[in-house]
Amino acid sequence: MTARRAVLILGLTTLVGAVLTGGSRAQEPRSPGLYNTAKQKLLDGKPVVGGTIYTSDPNIYCAMAGAGFDFLWIEMQHSPLTYSEVAKMIRACPEAPAIPFIRVPDATEGDIQKAADIGALGIIVPMVSTVKKAEAAVRYAKYPPDGQRSQGGGQYRVLYEGDYRRTANENILVVVMIENLEGVEVVDQIAAVPGVVAVFAASGDLGSFSGWARDDPRYEAMIDKVKTATLAAGKTLGGPFSWHDREGFRLFQASSDAGLIRSGARVLLETMKGEYEY
């Protein structure tokens, strides 16, 4: 057996193990009352990376959840995913090390309540261009006295140990996305909202709404403004994974499930070139 083939077999064995077991969240060190390991890493000054999920297939979800990501960015703004489907995905591998984050369609009470009830420990809110919207995101994600989330049923009861009602506010991480010029204009006020943990600079939409290319100095000035305001407020700065080497950024959205499958297949087939005809 060639060394290259042995490495390939080892890699496939690891992937199969991730699919079958989803990893084990219990292996991650925890602070008392804090089981959101992605948030813990941010508090420790470390970066976190999340793979993006568009499919409702629990097997793909569990494979990504056990692959090494800190969290999974479950995409409910730009996908037909339903809360029922996402609930089944999260329930399929509750001990997977990647923490479930959901990008909700909007900062509504219904969307955020449902996302939290099915087990999301990260609430990502798109198109935040006002302080009012950032405040609404926190209000609906948190139980009293920090917010107005109502106490009802939900599968969070079987996902998270201990007194969830007592620990939920500490564990739920609210991320607000700055995507347009209106949001950039007031980003210092948005970042200062209590309960907002991270501010995400949406690289593509900032270019789309402004009309500026990424090599335009005006575009770079927008990003610098978001960065300066976020860090000045003591909050975490987020962006696309391609910005992982940019100073100040610590929360990253990585490739989608389809993109990772495609690139993984290419890597696998590349290892076989010259050995087989296919």
Instruction: Determine which one of 5, 30, 78, 166 is catalytic.
Output: 78
The rounded distance, in Å, linking the Cα atoms of 120 and 99 is 8
Those residues with Cβ within 8 angstroms of residue 157's Cβ, 6 or more apart along the chain or in another chain: 164
Catalytic (active site) residue 78: yes
The rounded distance, in Å, linking the Cα atoms of 195 and 174 is 7
Q: Which of 18, 22, 14 is nearest to 92 (CA)?
A: 22
Amino acid letter at 89?
A: M
Q: Where are the alpha helices (DSSP H) in 118-250?
A: 131-141, 156-159, 164-171, 181-185, 187-191, 203-210, 217-232
Give the three-state DSSP class for 87. Answer: helix
Supply the residues annotated as catalytic.
78
